[in-house]
Every structure is written in structure tokens, then in C-alpha cells.
Amino acid sequence: MKKLAVIALGGNALLKPGEKGTISELERNAAETCRYFLPLIKNDWQIVLTHGNGPQVGSTLIQHESAKDLVPAMPLDVCVSETQGSLGYILQQAMLNELRRNKIERYVVTMITQVVVDSKDKAFKEPTKPIGPFYTKDQAESLQKEKKWTMIEDSGRGFRRVVPSPTPVKVIQRLMIKELAQSGHIVIAAGGGGIPIYKKDDNDYEGIEAVVDKDMASAIIAIEIKSSVFIILTTVPKVYINFGKPNQQGIVRMTVSQARKYLDENQFGTGSMKPKVESAVNYLAKIDGKVIITSAENLAEAMEGRSGTTIISDIKKREDAGNLLLDFSR
């Protein structure tokens, strides 16, 4: 049986702190990121790569807003589709180049992916998903007054705009993603969490203005294709409790029950680590696999259990993990 892995890549992996998001920056970062996937590919893993688009979709919205007197501005769901295509192209080209340099005969395909949400989801009244650049407190207050944006402080890094992030219900292209992955192709899908759509009373689909959390959508894909490993890449090497505090501790390994306990204690940021851990719990409720949360540069070591945070089911605890392990070195 082929080894399947879903890898959820954060949008910030394509845009480093302090960068403007030029094409040269995006291409350089994509090339660097794709190199970290080579050990898995060389070890015969079949890969579905998903990615975020928070910084990029925010920039696209600004472009539309700035040019609205010259060309019609597009709604948020269309902006998500634009970044799916552009970022998918950049990642696809970077991956193809890495495969060619390493003489690996694999194809890469980017799939424009639609994700069904509930139009009555409470998220539409309580926006939580950060998008776009970081602002100072003064800039955030000004934008809140001028544009009526909802702004929040994001994990000590500054202030960002937040938009509705409804729970994904179904990935429309899930069977095509599964078939392509099982055929040995590297699939890039659900960019930015997928294009949010809902089913109208006449059963037609229609786009809706929101940004679906890419980790939540990735978990649905991982469940549908029965991926044995669900990998969530982020900017930090592992999951932490008491993040940013003097008593911060990294988690090396934990079970679903332990993850739920920390979620109940609000240990994880709403727009950052919380949806990642929630996605891990959702995946492990349906699949007898494991979840790895780490940074791209630590991926190879994390696959061997030497880095990152591994989350497993409570059943596997007796066979494999033992108790919660904390890393007191960080």
C-alpha cells in the first residue's frame, strides 16, 4: 500500500517577516520550502500539499480596493481563487524544478479546490481569521475606523485584519485529489483553505465571502484520502504551552486527550496554533494515523521523531507514545 501524506503549509512560508511579497521573494521561498519535501519524495511518499494564503489574499484585497475606481473590485472568495492559482503556480514550478534537479520522474498538479461551508455558520458574525499584513496599533485603529475592518492583536507580532472563517463541511474535488495522489502525482490543493462556497435553496453552489482555515480543510482531505500522516508546517519547531511566557514549554509528543485538555485551557492562539491542534484532533478521530506539527526545516527530523510535536490517538498511547513529553530546553 502506498504511503500517503498530507502536508499543510502555512502562507507565511512563502513570505518571510519583513518581506514585501515580490515575485522574486515568493519564488525564492517556494524553492527553499520545496527542498524540505525531497527526503519524503525520495522515500516513496505520495504527497498532497496544501497551503495557506493569509498574507497574499490580504494583499490581493488591497490591490482590488486600491484600483476599484479603474476596474471592478472582486469579492473575497474570488480573491481566494486568485491566490490559489498564483501560489499554486509558484509552488508547482518550484517543485518541478527540484524534481528535475534531483532526476526524479514525478508530475505536479495544482487543483483549484472548492470547499463547502454552512452559510449560517456563526463565524460570519464572529470573524477570527487573520489575513493580510501586520499593522501597528495606531494603524489598526485607523483602519478599523476608516474601513470598518475587524482588527486583532496576533500572537504578539502586531495587529491584523480578521475575516469570517467558517468550518469546512466538504471538499468538492476530494475524489480527484485522492485519485491523482494514489497515481503517484504530487498534488497541490485547497490553497488558502479552498474557495468557500455554499449550497443555495435551489441546490446550486455559490461563493461566499470568507477564508476557510487551511488546516481544517487539509484535515478533511487527509481523512478522505486516508493519509497515514497529516503534517502541519508552521513557523515554530513544535507546539508550545504557555507560549511567549517565561514558563513556555515545547511539547514533543501528546495524545488526543491531552490535546483536548490544552484546547479547553485556551493554551493555543485562536488564529494561529488552535486550529492546527483542532485539525489534528479531527483527523485522529477518523484515521488511525499520526499528526506532526513542526517547521519546514525540521520536517525530516520530525518524521523520524527527533523534532517537532507528534500527536497520536489515545489507543496508540499504550503501543507507542507513553505519556506526554515536554521539552524543557526551550
Q: Which residues are catalytic?
A: 11-12, 129, 214, 276
Cβ atoms of 54 and 131 within 8 Å: the answer is yes
Q: Which residues 6+ apart lie within 8 Å of 237 measured at CB?
A: 250, 294, 295, 298, 307, 308, 330
The type of residue at 259 is A
- How many other C-beta atoms lie within 10 A of the C-beta of residue 155? 18
Angle formed by the axes of helices 256-264 and 273-284, nearest 10°: 140
- How many other C-beta atoms lie within 10 A of the C-beta of residue 101? 10
Q: Which helix (H) or strand (E) holds 292?
A: strand 290-295
Q: Is 316 exposed, middle or buried (0-12, 13-18, 19+ CB in 10 A)?
A: middle
Please name the residue that has the C-alpha cell 499554486.
88
How is residue 193 annotated by DSSP?
A: G
- How many other C-beta atoms lie within 10 A of the C-beta of residue 57? 27
d(CA 201, CA 173): 22
The Cα-based distances of 195 to 36, 90, 212 in angstroms read 27, 18, 8
